[in-house]
Structure 1
């Protein structure tokens, strides 16, 4: 009997210690970050006060789950804010979301090449962001310069951070192919592919305002179209109503 009671107490203590440790991992939202978000993240600025609070909580949860590392510079508060915002925006309307295929975001000061060196002498190989494979599996690599440029007002519909996190969502089913099972129900796959191919034809015929990079393949189209959807929703709704409606379903923004 005494052994049983001791065992129960021990298990109870272990559970308490575990849950307490988990709670401690999520740091409180720094008060000064609110103004930085208002200044730099259009999506956040347009949320209601209660939804801004939920956005803040989602940011801090993400930062508790994923390591942020930098190469040859120290990450600033704004760097962390923009990375976390990029992660939260595409999945904000999912009540629970965990990037199970991401452990680390590695940030370089500027663009890099496939060998993770800087491509200043080989401009064709410059990369602003990528979802890692092989030895870099479960890692995302970003250019700090590109990350910041994506949240500037002049960028309009180009956001590298959102782009790469959409690729990561697409990869959850094992392959980056533009048809993410986490977002698109089976019954929507054929209509989605029809919309993709119609829009890609327009891009490649120079008859679309969607960024040219979206015409490369289905995977890049999804990421590029998602940038547009979150950065300029009203414009997309006007110019690409079918695509806008489908992305509303995917990202559960209705």
Structure 2
């Protein structure tokens, strides 16, 4: 009897938390954000006006569900816009989407090390973004410098914030392993894994234009390839047609 009471109480608490998080009313987007999005976010710029409105709504819903905090600097409007855009872009083709594995985004002014130190005196400040674990479970940590670079550089194939949100998508089946089950429901994982391993081998043999970090493990390949896919889709389609096709199926995107 006591076990049943505890179970019911726990169930009610989980439902309450879930409802409280996802029932938050999104604010109306500030009108001037449209011009900022047109200037800064190519994905948004290429959408039809009706789809731009849907993108705006998805941004504001995301911002209603998470908090954004900063360390040693004040978050600016542009930072908020770019973070929300990064969250929406990979899942824009899905009718409804929430990120249940993240509650907050913490932004550092620059790259940081494994101890989350970012001052000029800190050594090995190579990390641009990370999905938190342990005491930072449910958090994403981003470098503001990397965040802005990901959108300002129109010729590279990288976007740190999109990379980290793709990790969150991959994590929704409890494993960040490069096989995002929620995206691959109608796909055969075996051809995907073979392609991934072939591409990783090419990276590690210096025979690919895909960023070297993608050759370290499956999960990183998926995130790096996703950056490439959303940043330079035409280039990926030309240089990696099979990979492009599989990524388009995963994200349900037509460029």
Q: Same fold (TM over 0.5)?
A: yes
Q: Identify the residue that residue 8 of structure 2 maps to in structure 1.
A: none
The answer to whether the 8 A contact 2:117-2:125 is kept is no
Take 2:240 and 2:77, find their aligned partners in 1: how far apart are those partners?
36
Tell me, yes or no, if structure 1 residue 105 matches structure 2 residue 84: no
Aligned positions of 1:176-187 closer than 5 A = 176-185=176-185, 187=187
Take 1:225 and 1:184, find their aligned partners in 2: how far apart are those partners?
15
Distance 1:38 1:186, change over 3 A: closer
C-alpha displacement at 1:74, in angstroms? 1.1
Q: Identify the residue that residue 210 of structure 2 maps to in structure 1.
A: 210
Aligned positions of 1:28-107 closer than 5 A = 28-107=28-107
Take 2:155 and 2:176, find their aligned partners in 1: how far apart are those partners?
25
The answer to whether the 8 A contact 2:90-2:251 is kept is yes
Question: What is the aligned length?
Answer: 235
Take 1:193 and 1:185, find their aligned partners in 2: how far apart are those partners?
15
Take 1:119 and 1:217, find their aligned partners in 2: how far apart are those partners?
29
The answer to whether the 8 A contact 2:226-2:247 is kept is yes
Point out 4+ residue stretches in structure 1 off by more than 6 angstroms: none
Deviations 1:90-142 (Å, cap 9, x if unpaired)? 00000010000010000011111221112644553521000000000010000
Q: Identify the residue that residue 224 of structure 1 maps to in structure 2.
A: 224
Tell me, yes or no, if structure 1 residue 244 matches structure 2 residue 244: yes
Structure 1 vs Structure 2 CA RMSD? 1.8
Structure 2: segments with no counterpart, 5+ residues: 1-18
Take 1:188 and 1:180, find their aligned partners in 2: how far apart are those partners?
12
Take 2:119 and 2:241, find their aligned partners in 1: how far apart are those partners?
39
The answer to whether the 8 A contact 1:119-1:126 is kept is no
